[in-house]
Amino acid sequence: MMVTPKPLLSRVADSVYWMGRYIERVENVARFLGVNQNLMLDLPRAYSNQWQPIVDTSGDRVPFQARHGAATEENVVRFLAFDPQNRNSIYSCVVAARENARSVRETISSEMWEQINSLYLLVMEESRKRVPQVLPEFCHQVRMGCHLFQGVTEVTMSHNEAWHFIRVGTSLERADKTTRMLDVKYFILLPSLSDVGTPYDDIQWAAVLKSVSGFEMYRKRFGRISPDRVVEFLLLDGDFPRAVRHCIGLADQSLHAITATPPGAFSCAAEQQIGLLRSELDYAQSDDIIKAGLHEFFDALQLKMNRIDECILSDFFAQCLAGAAGVSPRVLASQSTAP
Amino acid sequence: MQFSSYDTQGFYDEMFESNGRARPHGRLLLETVESLSHGQLLRYKHAAERLLLQMGITFNVYGDAEGTERIFPFDLIPRIVPAAEWDRIERGLQQRVRALNAFIDDIYHDQKILKDGTIPSDIVLSAVSYRKQCHGLAPPRRVWCHITGTDLVRDRDGQYYVLEDNLRVPSGVSYVLENREVLKRIFPGVFEGLSVRPVAEYPSRLLEMLESIAPGWAPNPCVVLLTPGIYNSAYFEHSFLAQQMGVRLVEGRDLVADDRGVFMRTTKGLERVDVIYRRIDDDFLDPEAFRPDSLLGVPGLMAAYKAGRVALANAPGNGVADDKVIYAYVPDMIRYYEDSDPILPNVPTYLCWRENDRQYVLEHLDQLVVKSANESGGYGMLVGPHSTREQQQEFAQKIEANPRNFIAQPTLALSRVPTIVGEQFQGRHVDLRPYVLCGKEIYVLPGGLTRVAMKKGSLVVNSSQGGGSKDTWVLAPAAGGRQQQS
């Protein structure tokens, strides 16, 4: 007899989605920090304040200034890595990812739980020191911890509904972070076009690519570094795992796997919104985007991704949030055998 | 580390006889441990602690900063129960659970045992855990105690006594399974040459039992485990058992219920639930039936249960037999329903509602253990010999004010097991909590949770009071001539 897979609890879907998002966020923040410190060591003093833009990519400039003041390395590291009041710090996101994982421990594999727990213990231990002793090493360990979690997820958990929710969360977060990174860096680096030909220009653009682990893959694809090609690569490449188009494609595939709707069709608002964005990116050209205004494009992209997130909430998770009052049991046909 | 300086100090020791000789069933283990190179056992101990932390096998401490997690201290030296001893425990527990079931079913129906005067009816009807809402209910298979975690202790003479029955929502079985896993991973050599009965089948047995109590019309019953959530002290166990059984772990907010049944909210609409293994106390189960301020429960759950649309394990109302005054009558229940003498005796118990007992208790507070009828977890009790005058006076007042609510027992010299303390072995007091499943048949898990009072001289083994645990080895009946040779 065929036994159909058990549908996922709405609360569980919500938790695994956010667990995926938070782990991805941790990995990104750790990478931004590590790459930036590496970059600073290469730049002359005149270029030296590159820490403020890192805060800007997280979108938290105002709370940062309020609590920490000047964007020195120490302050930025404390804010982005260990500040429990910063909801987007590595510390807060690891705690949140683990809390979500803890609440769905029976849904994920033990290996996933143990890995997320190890990452948590690593960050807790480091956070007790005032400043990490060796920042690059810490960032590296955190990134590897996140990668290990994602790899363990791939090979120890059935690619079932819950797994697809993890992938939707991870992909949307990754697209969001690549977008923010590019948005902030592109406009900071443009004035330095006057430096064209100087080694510092190349170093800075290489750092942008490294911030999304894209340097080597970009080289293979385009060779010489040029700002427009970087934009094309990080926005529209179909194969690079951190390219926005690639991420949206994965999220789209997973949503269809969750609803069992055929590709190219949609059965709910989330699927429709993500499908619209996917086809837009599939048929876009980077020259057109840059001509029409890159910043405007990024703003619109952020709004669309926020809308997708809202739709996922109302389509899949909201049954949980609606509260108990007055819900009349609509029983799944296949489950009902009551007399 | 060697046992040469180990001293049983006149207590019953699970590993050594009073003359200092190792008991036959413990010899092989002692040889293995003593043959380790210097410092190796402590390295194993630290590896086990790291592993427990990494596996996230922790419990939450109430009254501590929110979300504080600790590992439950685990001692590497196992407690061994020889086959013949276990056989008696198993039969004794089966007998006891059968009688308790019969008693609970009786008092929610005809109340024959009360009418016959075997147990005073005002004692039962005045129990805080007696639920009039359950009167007349007939749970599937007439089972009320699906999962029981009986606490057993041994006194100075080595005799096993039942200390508590724990019928409501007994916890700790996950530590039984995980302790064994940890010991197997860290120190596999310790099992060498011994035939230790496995405990890993517990989740399958539990699932089988839960499926067996589904309302009759469900062909592929949907079983769920209902937890109060991640801040509950036993949350690790809830998620562990759900994971091991492959059933969904739900919170009250995931469910909707009325007299048509119980349903859970999923990404694909509502799905019927047939059996709920609930780890929430009666009081919090359904705000419409019990405490109206409960946020953990499911409104309408009792309506669905009464309509026979869902099975609950354990059955609401079964906690009446956990009342420590009613506990004192379990031997009478066994004689009444089973027509046989109890295989496992109770700890002798003074009931303060009886004039003579109360006088005795009040005069001997410095020697007795006094317990209130409805507390657990080591709370609300007085350990006479370890108490101050003020504490004794406080309890005397409480007893005078509400005699029905108090019992007293002699302070038992709980048996001890060698335990790693610093860099040597010292005896520490233990109890034993075996787990009993009751569905179509009564199954006793061959093993159990051995809790250890880690503090020197302490008799309180509860995890909330600084207790730890040990792996518990039940030896198979044919377990090697080597143990029986001498």
The pLDDT assigned to B330 comes to 97
Question: Where would I find the H helices in B381-480?
Answer: 389-401
Closest CA to B173 of B433, B474, B464: B433
Contact (CB<8Å) A106/B243: yes
Confidence of residue A71 (pLDDT cuts 50, 70, 90): confident
SS3 B215: coil
One-letter amino acid at B67 equals G
Q: Do B56 and A102 count as a contact with CB atoms less than 8 A apart? A: yes
Asked whether the whole model's pTM tops 0.90, one would answer no
Contact: A13, B267; criterion CB under 8 Å: yes
Rounded to whole angstroms, the Cα distance separating B79 from B86 reads 12
Q: Is residue B317 part of a domain?
A: no
Q: How far apart are alpha carbons A288 and A282 in whole angstroms? A: 13
Pick the residue with more confidence: A292 or B250? B250
User: Residue B485: which residues within 8 A CB-CB, separation 6 or more?
Assistant: B24
> pLDDT tens per residue, chain B (486 residues)?
889 889 999 999 999 999 889 999 999 999 999 999 889 999 999 999 989 888 887 776 665 444 567 788 999 999 999 999 999 999 999 999 999 999 999 999 999 999 999 999 999 999 989 999 899 999 999 999 999 999 999 999 999 999 999 999 999 999 999 999 999 999 998 888 889 999 999 999 999 999 999 997 677 899 999 999 988 888 989 999 999 999 999 999 999 999 999 999 998 888 999 999 999 999 899 999 888 888 889 999 999 999 999 999 999 999 999 999 999 999 999 999 999 999 999 999 999 999 999 999 999 999 999 999 887 666 778 989 889 999 999 999 999 999 999 999 999 999 999 999 999 999 999 999 999 999 999 999 999 999 999 988 888 887 767 789 999 999 998 744 444 444
Q: Which chain B residue is nearest to residue A4, measuring alpha carbons?
A: B220
CB < 8 Å to A6, chain B? 222, 248, 271
The count of structural domains within chain B is 1
Residues 6 or more apart whose Cβ sits within 8 Å of residue B339: none
Å from A162 to nearest chain B CA? Answer: 10
- What 3 state SS string does B1-54 have? CCCCCCCCCCCCECCECCCCCECHHHHHHHHHHHCCCCCHHHHHHHHHHHHHHH
What are the tokens at B436? 């009993």
Residue B485 lies in a domain: no
Judge: B271–A332 Cβ closer than 8 Å, yes or no: yes
For the beta carbon of residue A48, count every other beta carbon within 10 angstroms: 10
| Mutation site, B267, B270, B286, B298, interface A, largest A CB count within 10 A | B267
Q: Which two tokens stand for residue B192?
A: 């060498």
Residue at B156 is within a domain: no
Residue with tokens 């609510």: B405
Strand B255-258 relative to strand B248-250, pairing: unpaired
Give the list of residues 6+ apart from residue A223 with CB closer than 8 angstroms, or none: none
Residue B64 identity = D
The CA distances from residue B42 to B3, B416, B424, in Å, are: 15, 21, 10
Please list, residue by residue across B61-84, b when 16 or more beta carbons sit within 10 angstroms of its beta carbon and e when fewer do. eeeeeeeebebbbbbbbbbbbbbe
CA torsion angle B299 A328 B265 A249 (round to 10): -150
For residue A198, pLDDT over 70 is answered with no
Asked if B270's CB is within 8 angstroms of A338's CB, the reply is: no
Top residue of B60, B259, B265 to mutate, by most chain A CBs within 10 Å, is B265
Q: Chains A and B: how many Cβ contacts under 8 Å?
A: 113
Least Cα distance to A157 among A119, A93, A118, A104 occurs for A104
Helix residue ranges, H only, chain A: 10-42, 51-57, 61-68, 73-77, 90-103, 110-128, 135-156, 161-189, 199-211, 215-222, 227-236, 244-259, 269-282, 286-292, 294-312, 318-321
Name the strands in the sheet holding B275-278, side by side, starting at the edge strand that comes first in the sequence.
Answer: B248-250, B223-226, B275-278, B311-313
The answer, yes or no, to whether the previous bond of B318 is cis (omega within 30 of 0) is no
Q: Could you tell me the CATH number of the domain that includes residue B400?
A: 3.30.1490.270
Cβ separation B248–A11 shorter than 8 A: no
**Interchain proximity A331–B263, CB inside 8 Å:** yes
Report, in angstroms and rounded to the nearest whole number, the Rg of chain B calculated over CA atoms: 23
Q: Give the C-alpha separation, B201 to A117, whole Å.
A: 27
Which residue's entry shows tokens 């804010």? A79
Give per-residue pLDDT as tens, A91-127. 999 999 999 999 999 999 999 999 999 999 999 988 8
Question: Tokens 């080895």 belong to which residue?
Answer: B473
First and final C-alpha spacing in chain A: 22
* CA separation for the pair A112, A290 (Å, rounded): 41
Q: What is the pLDDT of residue A338?
A: 32
Tokens standing for residue B447: 């093993």
Q: How many CB atoms lie within 10 A of CB B214?
A: 18
Is the per-residue pLDDT at A3 higher than 80? no
Residue B381 lies in a domain: yes
Query: What is the C-alpha separation between A165 and A108, in angstroms, rounded?
Result: 12
Give helix A227-236 / helix A199-211 axis angle, nearest 10°.
10
- Residue-level pLDDT at A318: 76
CB contact under 8 A, A103 and B229: yes
Q: Which residue has the tokens 């410190």?
A: A37
Q: H or E stretch including B205? A: helix B202-212
Out of B229, B265, B268, closest to residue A320 by CB = B265
Summarised one tens digit per residue, pLDDT across range A15-53 is: 999 999 999 999 999 998 888 888 777 777 666 677 888
> Tokens 């009254």 — which residue?
B63
- Which residues have C-beta within 8 Å of that of residue A280, sequence separation ≥ 6? none
Query: Which residue reads 């810490």 in tokens?
Result: A138
The pLDDT value given to residue A61:
87
A330–B269: do the CB atoms touch at under 8 Å?
Answer: yes
Residue B371 · residue B406 · CB < 8 Å? yes
Question: What is the token pair recorded at B120?
Answer: 């005073």
Contact A331 B55 (CB under 8 A): no
**Of the partner residues A11, A121, A329, the one whose CB lies closest to the CB of residue B261:** A329
Residues of A in contact with B261 (CB under 8 A): 329, 338
Domain that holds residue B392: 350-411
| Residues of B contacting chain A (CB within 8 angstroms) | 53-56, 217-220, 222, 225, 229-230, 235, 239-240, 242-243, 247-251, 253-254, 256, 258, 260-261, 263-272, 298-299, 309
Considering A8-12, A52-56, A225-229, B442-446, the range whose residues carry the highest mean pLDDT is: B442-446
Specify the DSSP class assigned to residue B320: G
